[in-house]
Amino acid sequence: MSKQPPSYYLKTSRAFSPLYKYAWLLTVLIGIGGQLFPLLGLLVPFIMAALLATSLFKGKYWCGNYCPHGSFFDNLLKPLSRHLKVPQLFRAKAFIIFVLLFFMYNLAARFINVYDAMGTGEFYEKLGLIFASTYLMVLLVGGLLAVIINTRTWCHFCPMGTMQILMYKLGKALGLTNKTDKKVTLEQPDLCRSCGKCARVCPMQLTPHQNFSENYQFDDEQCIRCHICIESCPPAILSLANRVKEAPHRESI
């Protein structure tokens, strides 16, 4: 029997911060524990506020460095993942917008259902259960996709990720990202081998080596600033840096 060809995408480890290494515990606590103790779900609005505020200044940095679900996918499920190419459907703008609108509609409908309980002792428990159930849904659906397709499959169309991109656009328009937004940066263009390893290890399956801007930075808004491409670059010429004021002379790569 012939062997299956090796996957184009590589499973690679990265140095996690202590916070990100154990952030998955929060996902389990809220998603599963919240079914028994619904008030745990009331932690979610604070998490949502934090990630949206962060995205105003640093894009999807939260996804690659703080997200409890991302920590769950990266720390626990990566060894189990088939590490396949994410289907184009999950990358399509129409599908991403549909998921965001469905998410907002579903939350609004559930909020309306608990509105009648406002002022009673049950209101906060019912409200918390909404958020806890949403966290559990992401845990289950995102976890299943992580195993059967790729670790970060859910992250391609995650509603909160989409909202982060919208907030990031706002932050750029207001100039809030000028001093805070760090992007993958090619420090020494003449040493780049165009080997494509940065693309092969990217959890979002992006292609930095093919899409550096004139100032040698990777401007794709889907980049989660996870450092994996930086740590995996063979000549070690990538870094996470702030916007370069003046673009250096571009040499052929």
**Cα dihedral 225, 50, 176, 246 in deg (nearest 10):** -10
Using one digit for the tens of pLDDT, what is the confidence trace for 94-126? 999 999 999 999 999 999 988 887 878 789 999
Residue 251, CA distances (Å) to 46, 190, 240, 245, 246 in order: 46, 7, 21, 18, 15
What the chain holds in terms of domains, given with CATH numbers, is 18-169 (no CATH), 181-242 (3.30.70)
Instruction: Please give the structure tokens belonging to residue 32.
Output: 């599963």
The share of the chain scoring above pLDDT 70, in percent, equals 93
Task: Tell me: pLDDT of 1 over 50.
Answer: no
Coil, strand or helix: which one is 162? helix
Task: Find the mean pLDDT for residues 128-151.
Answer: 96
Q: What is the mean pLDDT of the chain?
A: 90
Concatenating the DSSP letter of every residue in 28-92 gives: HHHHTHHHHSGGGGGGHHHHHHHHHHHHHHHTTHHHHHT-HHHHHIIIIIGGG---PPPPGGGG-
- Return d(Cα 140, Cα 190) in angstroms, integer: 45
